[in-house]
Amino acid sequence: MKVSSPLPLLSLLLVFFLSACTADEPPPPDVSDISVDLEVLRFDREIPALDTTRLGEELERLDRTYGSFTDVFFTHLVPVRRGDFSPAEGQRVLQAYLDFPLTDFVDSLVAERFPEGAGAAPIAIGEVQELIEDFEQSLRYYQHYLPGAPVPDTLVLYDTHFELAAFLYGDGELAAGLDFFLGPDFDYSQVNPEEPIFSNYLATSYTPAHFTGKLLRVLIEDRYPLPRSGRMLDYLIYEGKKLYLLEHLMPETPDAVVYEVTEEQMDWLRENETPIYAYLQREELLFSTDVNKINKYTRPAPYTPGMPQESPGGAVNYLGRQIVAAYMNQHPDVTLPELMAMEDAQAILQGARYKPR
């Protein structure tokens, strides 16, 4: 069953008239008085510079400098410290990683795209500095809207063979894989056109513009985990709350970047809110507990099943955001921490008095 894309001329005129009569969104709050003390470490420049004649000593040096990050990196990303490896075997694994052609290829790409400042201590320059400043500003909004929430004070930048874009380690510290932010000029499919993670619908978000959003998603999902079970509605509301919060944490960021879709797909979502909602009702999906269906409709994909190929994967999550926004409009006294802590998706739907546009 297809969801129609075009809107009648009369509907378009009505949308234009209503939008012209709607008050402008309020400006984001002034958070300039909120301090952010974020130490940024360039682990990505350490691996290419390792002295391969003394790897044991080099690993000890990295442990002293980067703390628990090295355990995560060398256990899960580059398995030097796998449980059944002796130190000597681990060093041979590291040497093999350093000798692998893909390692040098990625290290060179990252070094060219994200150079490091000169001097005794590595400093951020150019685009890396812009990324850090943008993320720090979002951390100010994070503290403003979620007072008391833990905030990382360390960000480690690294690269591997395209393993993870971002993750938390240690005592709530953050790490970001710079190899996931080389686009849009870099064609990820050239690495391996058969690898699903390099598909266009995912690689769209592998750009510096998405750096802050991917780090914030890690923080949000750690503090407010995905439901372990439930109905489609529960997952839609969860994704909607996350998108709604991200919009507040990234107020100057285009919606397409926040939603990790293209501009055309963002337009499609705005124009097809009613047909998407009608489709979920018609197919009796809103209260489905079928895990396969829930994943199929809410996870990233080339497009959403049952909808035109112009739709983004997870298009139904947009409804979750609209329901959450409607709920907050009806309940202006509810704070963002209170919203994020709410687990009753049915109560949010009922309290929203939601009417798709």
pLDDT digits (tens, 9 = 90+) for 231-259: 999 999 999 999 999 999 999 999 999 99
Percent of the chain with pLDDT over 90: 86
238 vs 123, residue with greater confidence: 238
Token pair recorded at residue 55? 């790897």
**What pLDDT sits at residue 126?**
75
**What pLDDT sits at residue 11?**
38
81 vs 228, residue with greater confidence: 81
Interatomic CA distance for residues 313 and 202, integer angstroms: 10
> Does pLDDT of 224 surpass 60?
yes
* Residues 20 and 296: beta-carbon distance below 8 Å: no
* Residues 312 and 261: beta-carbon distance below 8 Å: yes
DSSP string, 41-79: EEGGGTGGG--GGGHHHHHHHHHHHHTHHHHHIIIIIS-
**Banded pLDDT at 125 (limits 50, 70, 90):** low
CB proximity list for 117: less than 8 A, separation 6 or greater: 123, 124, 125
Which residue in the block uniquely carries the two structure tokens 């040098």? 104
3-state secondary structure of 174: strand
Most confident of 10-14, 114-118, 326-330: 326-330
* SS (HEC) of 167-232: EEECCCEEEEEHHHCCCCCCCHHHCCCCCHHHCHHHHCCCCHHHHHHHHHHHHHHHHCCCCCCCCH
**What pLDDT sits at residue 22?**
40
Angle between the 263-271 and 273-282 helix axes, to the nearest 10 degrees?
70
**What pLDDT sits at residue 8?**
39
> Does pLDDT of 293 surpass 50?
yes
> Does pLDDT of 6 surpass 50?
no
**What pLDDT sits at residue 117?**
63
* Rounded average pLDDT over 320-342: 97
3-state secondary structure of 270: helix
pLDDT digits (tens, 9 = 90+) for 72-102: 999 999 999 988 889 999 999 999 999 999 9
* Rounded average pLDDT over 214-243: 96
Instruction: List C-alpha distances in Å: 198 to 141, 201, 237, 301.
Output: 32, 8, 28, 12
Interatomic CA distance for residues 318 and 277, integer angstroms: 10
> Does pLDDT of 12 surpass 80?
no
> Does pLDDT of 338 surpass 90?
yes
Quick one: which of 238, 235, 352, 240 has its CA closest to 287? Answer: 235
3-state secondary structure of 284: coil
Lowest mean pLDDT among 10-24, 49-63, 163-177, 200-214: 10-24
219 vs 84, residue with greater confidence: 219
Neighbours of 253 (CB within 10 A): 17
* Rounded average pLDDT over 4-32: 53
Mean pLDDT of the chain: 90
Token pair recorded at residue 348? 């949010």
pLDDT digits (tens, 9 = 90+) for 156-203: 999 999 999 999 999 999 999 999 999 999 999 999 999 999 999 999
**What pLDDT sits at residue 24?**
56
> Does pLDDT of 317 surpass 70?
yes
* Rounded average pLDDT over 107-131: 76
Token pair recorded at residue 120? 């005794």
**What pLDDT sits at residue 56?**
95
Quick one: which of 269, 244, 245 has its CA closest to 256? Answer: 269
**What pLDDT sits at residue 17?**
35
* Residues 233 and 194: beta-carbon distance below 8 Å: no
Beta bridge partners, 124, equal 116
* Rounded average pLDDT over 112-139: 78
Percent of the chain with pLDDT over 70: 91
